[in-house]
Amino acid sequence: MIIAERKPIGRILQMIAPFKKVAVIGCRGCVAICSAGGDREVETVAAALRLARKREGRPLETVEDTFVRQCDPEYLTPLEELRKEVEAVVSLACGVGVNLAADLYPDLKIYPGVDTSFYGANPSLGQWEEKCRGCGDCIIDFTGGLCPIARCAKNLLNGPCGGSQGGRCEIRPEVACVWHQIYERLKARGEVEKLTQIWPAKNWIPAGHGGPRERVRPDLQFNNNSKK
């Protein structure tokens, strides 16, 4: 999922300083699962903004809502009505949601309430770890399912840097050396010969060379009435 984290309340207050009535909109997708932008966080951020503004002597009125998703146009349609009711929107969705709303409603003043951080997993409650960098050229079939781009501090492709100690990364010793883990995984799977593959310098073109990436499935584009 996409992992995000609430921005400091002071930063959000700066964004909405000119307004008297704003909507705080959450998303029930990734940011709800990573506890950054779901229903609870909407309540918390809205209450914090109102409290801060009340103390400033400039009361703020908030409308709170959480959409099913903010990365699909059909789920953003409530903004059509909402924008008539409020002066601005603080979105607790990831950057994808804020971008799409800004694309679809150019006159809507929409501001991000979270920082979008990484693609991660939720190995235990209250903890999220980066597992993928979305580089567009996945080689984890050669590395036991573990990504050296996302999980090695030096993004190395051909084995460990030589600085790891006891299976721990030299940059952040609390993190396991992913190349140590890759070796252990491949050995356990009887696939250690995969390490003999020598990778040339990584081709970063699929990672975003040439601007925003796009994927098209023509078979799904029939009867497509989405706003673009």
Partner 1 sequence: MSGWKIAILCCHYTNEATAEDVADIPAQIEIRRFPCSGRIEVADILRAFENDAEAVLVAGCERGSCHNRSGSLRAEKRVEAARKILEEIGMEPERVQMAFIPRLDTGAFVAAAKDTFEKLLEISPKGETTS
Interaction site with partner 1 (CB under 8 A): 8-10, 13, 40, 43-44, 46-48, 50-52, 54-55
- Shortest approach of partner 1 to residue 9 CB, angstroms? 4
- Shortest approach of partner 1 to residue 7 CB, angstroms? 10
Report the amino acid identity of residue 146. Answer: L
Structure tokens given for 110: 């929409």
- Shortest approach of partner 1 to residue 120 CB, angstroms? 20
- Shortest approach of partner 1 to residue 24 CB, angstroms? 11
Choice between 40 and 187, CB closer to partner 1: 40
Residues in the chain: 228
C-alpha 132/C-alpha 146 separation (Å) is 9
List of residues 6+ apart from 128 with CB closer than 8 A: 3, 34, 120, 121, 122
Choice between 52 and 96, CB closer to partner 1: 52
Tokens 């979105």 sit on residue: 91
Choice between 43 and 72, CB closer to partner 1: 43
Choice between 50 and 185, CB closer to partner 1: 50
Structure tokens given for 38: 């779901």
- Shortest approach of partner 1 to residue 70 CB, angstroms? 21
* DSSP string across 6-47: EPPHHHHHHHTTT-SEEEEEEESSHHHHTTSSSHHHHHHHHH
Measure the CA dihedral 99/104/110/111, to 10°.
0
Choice between 47 and 188, CB closer to partner 1: 47
